[in-house]
Amino acid sequence: MQLRFVGCGDAFGSGGRFNTCFHLTGERANLLIDCGASSLPAMKRLGVDRNAIDLILITHFHGDHFAGLPFLLLDAQFSRRTRPLTIAGPQGIATKLPQVMEVMFEHSSKTRQRFDLSVVTLEPEQVSRFGDVTVTPYPVVHGESGGPFLAYRIEAEGRIITYSADTEWTDALIPAAQNADLFIAEAYTYDKMVKNHLSLKSLETHLPAINAKRVVLTHLSDDMLGRVGELPYTAASDGMTLDL
């Protein structure tokens, strides 16, 4: 399996990075984790075959994780996609998706798709299966607006990939990421406490309990980007790929 960081930036594009969008592929898996506002041009830049994607997992409804969907769905329509697509996310996704489409492109939510589109609500700690991909959401903490907020533990083809999503520290991240092959963790700041976000120092305190085989940091602020060369962990960058 392979994971590609299509975009790994924060909401403000620190370092010129695209919004969050990860592409996980394998023999039987092809999915996106989040689809921020800049995801479509980022995917086109990397030559990602959007029409081969079967599943999109959304962690929450902030624009840098969710607002790329109207562009992606219209692109699918105009490129004559026929492959079914499932979009899954927190409670409210069935109403939030048409709302954001109407804001971006009026009447687009009422256009009949050329392909079957399923919108699925995921509940915390309830396992969902999408073909050969198993997804377990965990509740995380990222403020009052734009939620609910979910981290994802994804099992596919004998590998476990966890994404923390945007969150301050919460003990739910331990079962979410425990013994994972890859833990993609927000590290917005180095040691400064920013409400609703995770610092590297806070994360490090809990890494022994998590015991992930590999940790990759994402959603880095300008402060963290200035420290990348000093960090003992891999920092994600746009276009970076990891073989699992």
Residue pLDDT, tens place only, 159-183: 999 999 999 999 999 999 999 999 9
Residue pLDDT, tens place only, 179-226: 999 999 999 999 998 999 999 999 999 999 999 999 999 999 999 999
Report pLDDT for 111: 84
Mean local confidence (pLDDT), 120-124: 98
State the pTM of this model: 0.97
Report pLDDT for 25: 98
Q: Choose between 112 and 171: higher pLDDT.
A: 171
Above 90 in pLDDT, residue 54? Answer: yes
| Active site (annotated) includes residue 64 | yes
Report pLDDT for 52: 97
Closest to 125 (Cα-Cα) out of 148, 144, 146: 148
Of these residues, 64, 166, 191, 222, which one is catalytic? Answer: 64
Rounded Cα distance, 189 and 201, in Å: 9
Q: Give CA 207 to chain center in angstroms.
A: 20
Residue pLDDT, tens place only, 140-151: 999 989 999 999
The mean predicted confidence, pLDDT, of the chain is: 96
Confidence of residue 65 (pLDDT cuts 50, 70, 90): very high
Residue 152, classed as helix, strand or coil, is strand
Mean local confidence (pLDDT), 125-147: 96
Measure the CA dihedral 154/156/160/164, to 10°: -20
* Phi, psi torsion values for 113, nearest 5 degrees: -75, 150
Closest to 33 (Cα-Cα) out of 133, 180, 116, 102: 133
**Domains, the chain, ordered by start:** 2-225 (3.60.15.10)
